[in-house]
């Protein structure tokens, strides 16, 4: 049976999430915390009923929640071990409609066939697959092509960033809706850094680096179509990698590529990055 998530479910949810972590084919977007205390802050804190569990003989065997995302909401889950995943998912979709969200997203691992089938039976459509790669510390330096230069952009020029982001035209559109202040706030501090590539004084490419405990991620990299094929994207990657590995605590560098970015996928594999996961983006128009 489906019930609203309650404090009494915290320990069992922590155990269910640990079960999910044991096998890649169980993975889906889920809370990050793995302790009852952390899950209280992540799932229960705040107003409104946004998370539900499936109970079998009083035990938590399924979980789903709604979180704000892009122009609508996203599902954490559905995570199902032995319960009725379809009924749990239908309940979350009904609640999302009642909240007035225009679109509902879900992000299972590609090998999580059970959840992928659940989503498709509920009317979700696969939009694309994002591949995540990682490599340990390594020298990825690469010469900047003649006539170009690459360097840190401090502070972020919101107009330049938004213009490049729009013209690179590779399917990333979320930040086009960010205000100038939201973009500036995103790059304030030491955990997110922006590299720009210039042809003369004209910005023609960018790489966005996120620094975290023990690892770093190039969250976005792109070059204007008319400047591709010159090694500029490779130089941006090398500059961001050098900055990441200048931090002694960073042991891993992660990158990502959508399924249509074949050249980026080939480059990452050629450089020694290993695929870690492939996440399918599903969407349901409400």
Residue 238's pLDDT is 96
What the block records as the tokens of 262 is: 């074949």
Residue 147 confidence (pLDDT) above 90: yes
As a whole number, mean pLDDT of residues 86-97 equals 95
Q: pLDDT band at 48, cuts 50/70/90?
A: confident
Q: pLDDT band at 248, cuts 50/70/90?
A: very high
2-128: CATH number:
3.40.630.30
| Apex 30 CA angle, 102 and 93, nearest 5 | 30
Q: What is the pLDDT of residues 117-140, one digit of tens each?
A: 999 999 999 999 999 999 999 999
Residue 163's pLDDT is 85
Q: pLDDT band at 168, cuts 50/70/90?
A: confident
138-250: CATH number:
3.40.630.30
180-to-3, 68, 207, 263 alpha-carbon distances in Å: 41, 21, 18, 31
Nearest residue to 259 via CA among 278, 238, 231 = 278
Q: Which residues touch 57 (CB under 8 Å, ≥6 apart)?
A: none
Residue 253's pLDDT is 96
Q: What is the pLDDT of residues 181-203, one digit of tens each?
A: 877 777 776 688 899 999 999 99
Rounded Cα distance, 210 and 190, in Å? 9
Lowest mean pLDDT among 47-51, 90-94, 187-191, 209-213: 187-191
Token pair 């922006």 is found at 194
**3-state DSSP call for residue 279?**
strand
Alpha helices in the chain, H assignment, sequence order: 10-21, 36-39, 85-99, 113-121, 158-167, 180-187, 232-245, 262-271
Q: pLDDT band at 174, cuts 50/70/90?
A: low
| Apex 31 CA angle, 119 and 22, nearest 5 | 80
Residue 252's pLDDT is 95
Nearest residue to 190 via CA among 213, 163, 220 = 213
Output the average pLDDT for the chain. Answer: 90
- From-to residues of CATH 3.40.630.30 in the chain: 2-128, 138-250
Residue 254's pLDDT is 96
Residue 255 confidence (pLDDT) above 90: yes
Rounded Cα distance, 123 and 77, in Å? 16
Contact 152, 194 (CB under 8 A): yes
Q: What is the pLDDT of residues 12-42, one digit of tens each?
A: 999 999 999 999 899 999 999 999 999 999 9
Nearest residue to 123 via CA among 92, 148, 100 = 92
Q: What is the pLDDT of residues 220-231, one digit of tens each?
A: 898 999 999 999
Rounded Cα distance, 177 and 71, in Å? 10
Residue 124's pLDDT is 97
Residue 170 confidence (pLDDT) above 80: no
As a whole number, mean pLDDT of residues 108-125 equals 96
Rounded Cα distance, 162 and 183, in Å? 9
Contact 148, 232 (CB under 8 A): yes
As a whole number, mean pLDDT of residues 247-272 equals 91
Q: Measured in whole angstroms, how far is the alpha carbon of residue 93 from the centre of its chain? A: 21
Residue 172 confidence (pLDDT) above 60: no
């Amino acid at each position: 049976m489906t019930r609203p998530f309650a404090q009494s479910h915290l320990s069992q949810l922590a155990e269910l999430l640990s079960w999910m972590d044991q096998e890649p084919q169980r993975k889906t977007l889920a809370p990050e915390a793995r302790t009852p205390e952390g899950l209280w802050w992540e799932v229960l804190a705040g107003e409104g009923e946004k998370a539900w569990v499936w109970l079998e003989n009083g035990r938590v065997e399924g979980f789903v929640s709604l979180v704000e995302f892009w122009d609508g909401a996203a599902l954490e889950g559905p995570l199902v071990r032995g319960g009725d995943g379809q009924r749990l998912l239908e309940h979350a979709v009904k609640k999302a409609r009642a909240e007035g969200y225009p679109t509902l997203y879900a992000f299972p691992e590609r090998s999580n066939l059970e959840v992928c089938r659940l989503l498709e039976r509920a009317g979700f459509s696969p939009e694309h697959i994002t591949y995540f790669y990682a490599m340990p510390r390594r020298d990825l330096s690469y010469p900047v092509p003649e006539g170009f230069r690459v360097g840190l952009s401090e502070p972020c020029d919101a107009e330049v960033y938004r213009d490049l982001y729009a013209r690179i035209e590779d399917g990333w559109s979320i930040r086009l809706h960010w205000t100038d202040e939201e973009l500036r706030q995103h790059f304030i501090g030491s955990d997110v850094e922006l590299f720009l590539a210039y042809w003369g004084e004209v910005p023609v490419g960018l790489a966005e680096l996120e620094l975290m405990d023990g690892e770093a991620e190039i969250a976005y990299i792109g070059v204007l179509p008319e400047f591709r094929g010159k090694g500029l994207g490779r130089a941006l990657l090398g500059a961001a990698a050098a900055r990441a590995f200048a931090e002694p605590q960073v042991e891993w560098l992660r990158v990502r590529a959508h399924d249509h970015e074949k050249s980026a996928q080939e480059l990452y594999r050629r450089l020694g990055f290993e695929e870690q996961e492939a996440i399918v983006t599903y969407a349901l128009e409400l």
